[in-house]
Amino acid sequence: MDGIMEEFENDTFGDELLLASLDSTVAPTQTPPANSTATHLPEYKPPTRSIFPSFPFSTPYPQQISLMQTVYSCLASAKCAVIESPTGTGKSLSLLASCLHWLLDHNEATGAHLALLRDDLKATVNCTHSGPDWVQAYAQRRERRLALNSAIEPLESQQSALCKVNKLIEEYSSSSSISMAKSGRTFSQLAREYASLFPDSLPSDGGRRAREAKPLSVREKTDEDEDKFLVASSLLEVGFPKDEEEEKEKEGSTDTRVLQIIYCSRTHSQLGQVLAELKKMPSLAERISVVTLASRQLLCVNQPVFSLKNAALVRDACLDLVGGPKQKNCVFRAKARVNALSELLIGARVSAHQAAAALRSAGREEKCDIEEAVVAAGCPYYANRAALPLAQLVLAPYQTVLVPGLRQASGLGTDGNLRDTVLIFDEAHNLLDAVAASFSASVSHADLASSGRLLGAYMDRYRSRLSAIALLRLRQLKQVAAAASASISGEFQGLAGQRRHRLDAQQRIRASVDAKETVYTTSEWLLVTGIDHINLDQLVEYLRQGHCLQKIIGFGKWFGSVRSRPRTKPTSATVGLSLSTCLEKLTGGPRRVVKEEDENVPSLTKKRKVVSAQAVEVSQNSDLESCGPGLIALLSFLEALAQSESDGRVIVSPVQVTGRTLQSDSDCVPHDGGLRFIILNPGRYLQGNSVP
């Protein structure tokens, strides 16, 4: 009843109709149209341009002018384009000139459009209505004010980020801290300059605490070394963030970004060529902030971490240092240092690759300046990520943009969403091949065998200390490695696999041909290998979350180095001296004793047996140190299987032995088989979650 009365009282249009029916001199009010002018906002006028004065050559070729005009018009109208240009026509220069001219013109046009919206909002707020229908006028003003605010907010966010970029460029251009390419100075000299500008980035004790740290005893060091390789008990334990400071930064930070042009190419060398082409246009390069994305393997400056060489090992070691105890954090990860270096990358237009290369080589070239450079400099990788929201031109490889996980991890877009971003794929004829390579993986028979040995040694060492869930996941991983290895050697474990293997063998006998590669779908391969009951998603998630893989690989290196230490014969000078001596002997492990059954065996033969037994033991233990790449390859293969679609295929290459004759083993050459996962339709991965 209340609702009916409210509608009756607020029915101004019906009241006017009733009044018009009673008095002929009053004209009825027309019904307001559905598309009211209350939400009609000032239109954005896209910029136009036909000449490009920043092009490095005074008289461009007609093909170059046509290419630049086409790219500019496509960007101004927010359309997609597929453009082909012959080799040697200055394609990269034309693309950069047209895109950057449009970006600068668009920023100016956006500023003018923002000023119009602000004036309109001010006029709407100050507008007063003196007519009788003030309620409807207020509703229209409110609707228009909300529409103006929703249009102004993102533009103001972009303009504030753009003002910050221009301020940094102006500060570093006016000061002595200019680009290394212009000054010719080393990065350590540049680091000392901005260290003087940011004294808070220096440690309060000057590194005295790290230098005066008391070394651990032998027993404490052994226990600590062994405990740090113990994997997490469950997913609940590894689910909580270890780096609370970094989580607070994420919660407190607002996503303020400039309009970005993401220039993609296949390799980092091609991106370096694009950067060199940009330097040929100084009038544009001096007004644009540039960031080149790269992995930790290329940008890490922590010697123990980047010396691991493998990209997955470097990533896990870096995350372990970032999320570990405070006293073991990476010295380059300090917040003040990273922020200072990120401002240097934007303002002075210094490449993170240059900073990383200079810091890595500073110890060899400038020994006297290395301490100052290390104290002053932050991590180039995290500084690159911190500078990414302010980068107007982003140079990135194909994989960083196409793979959703890599895109989100690198910080591109808002949570990996590239909406309102300009994407340029250079050398796009390689795009499908790059997508296929990004979602493919391979693992060899030797990798599977080494992974099984490493997992077996790890579980034997920590069996009594592992939780039920940890032991279950490691057993599943070892079972997967064994089943995959068996499928390569032809020893299928599942009933369906044995049946399929018998049929394939009969067909090969009839055809009288050697064993060849076999292609399976993902579900079919899991069935024939007998591991279809294992949830690969849960297994991969566990291995990724708690740095589990890094700990197992670290255990292999530690255990192999400890076991392969040279052992000396105990003498009267080394027996019973101290507790530390006994502990060192215990860490070496038990010796292998060779029992001599025949007393008549010559002494030379006995010595050969002892030497051969020691050599076998050392080779087996030292082999654990090199098992890391195999385990990483296995995990990459499992990740590809876990995220595979219906077009995924597993190719099994069996182990083959070929040679001139089969009587002599020396004439036989074994060919190591392996597994490969490929996708048949790379185009489907360019849709949906890959690229918006």
| Cα Rg of the chain (Å, integer) | 34
What is the model's pLDDT at position 671?
Answer: 54
- 3-class secondary structure, 232: coil
The span from the CA of 632 to the CA of 454, in Å, is 12
Are the C-beta atoms of residues 469 and 450 closer than 8 Å to each other? no
- State what percent of residues in the chain have pLDDT above 70: 62
Please state the length of the chain. 692
Whether 542 has a pLDDT exceeding 60, the answer reads yes
Single-letter amino acid code for the residue at 288: I
Q: What is the pLDDT of residues 475-484, one digit of tens each?
A: 999 999 999 9
Angle of helix 628-642 versus helix 445-462 axis, rounded to 10:
100
Q: Which pLDDT band, with edges at 50, 70 and 90, does 662 fall under?
A: very low
Residue carrying the six token digits 């047209």? 98
The span from the CA of 688 to the CA of 684, in Å, is 8
What is the model's pLDDT at position 225?
Answer: 57
Q: Looking at the domain that runs over 173-207+243-426, which CATH code has it been given?
A: 3.40.50
* Count of beta carbons in the 10 Å neighbourhood of residue 81: 11
Structure tokens at 27: 């004209």
Residue carrying the six token digits 């919660």? 251
Who contacts 164 (Cβ-Cβ below 8 Å, separation ≥6)? 390
Single-letter amino acid code for the residue at 305: V
The span from the CA of 102 to the CA of 47, in Å, is 8
The span from the CA of 592 to the CA of 428, in Å, is 60
Alpha helices in 534-574 (DSSP H): 536-545, 548-563
Instruction: Identify which of 448, 632, 641 has the alpha carbon closest to the alpha carbon of residue 526.
Output: 641
Whether 367 has a pLDDT exceeding 50, the answer reads no
What is the model's pLDDT at position 204?
Answer: 41
What is the model's pLDDT at position 290?
Answer: 93
What is the model's pLDDT at position 34?
Answer: 42
Domain ranges of the chain: 62-162, 173-207+243-426, 443-559+624-686
- 3-class secondary structure, 568: coil
Sheet containing strand 518-521, edge to edge, reads 441-444, 674-679, 648-653, 518-521
Single-letter amino acid code for the residue at 496: A
Average of per-residue pLDDT across 63-83? 91
What is the model's pLDDT at position 266?
Answer: 86
The span from the CA of 338 to the CA of 625, in Å, is 34
Residue carrying the six token digits 């101290």? 578
What is the model's pLDDT at position 270?
Answer: 87
Are the C-beta atoms of residues 628 and 557 closer than 8 Å to each other? yes
Which of 576-583's residues contact partners 24+ apart within 8 Å by CB, and which partners?
579/219, 580/217, 580/218, 580/219, 583/218, 583/219, 583/222
pLDDT, averaged across the chain: 73
Q: Which pLDDT band, with edges at 50, 70 and 90, does 495 fall under?
A: low
Whether 348 has a pLDDT exceeding 70, the answer reads yes
Instruction: Identify which of 67, 128, 130 has the alpha carbon closest to the alpha carbon of residue 101.
Output: 67
The more confident residue out of 639 and 6 is: 639
Whether 390 has a pLDDT exceeding 90, the answer reads yes
The span from the CA of 619 to the CA of 424, in Å, is 51
Q: What is the pLDDT of residues 426-450, one digit of tens each?
A: 888 888 888 888 889 999 999 999 9
Instruction: List, in sequence order, every beta strand (DSSP E) within 280-414.
Output: 290-292, 393-397
Q: What is the pLDDT of residues 306-336, one digit of tens each?
A: 888 778 778 878 877 765 555 567 888 888 8
Whether 595 has a pLDDT exceeding 80, the answer reads no
Q: What would the 3-class secondary structure string for 675-692 be? A: EEEEECCHHHHHCCCCCC
Q: What is the pLDDT of residues 201-251, one digit of tens each?
A: 344 444 443 334 444 444 444 455 566 666 665 443 443 334 434 444 444
Alpha helices in 566-689 (DSSP H): 579-587, 603-623, 628-642
Whether 673 has a pLDDT exceeding 60, the answer reads yes
- State what percent of residues in the chain have pLDDT above 90: 18
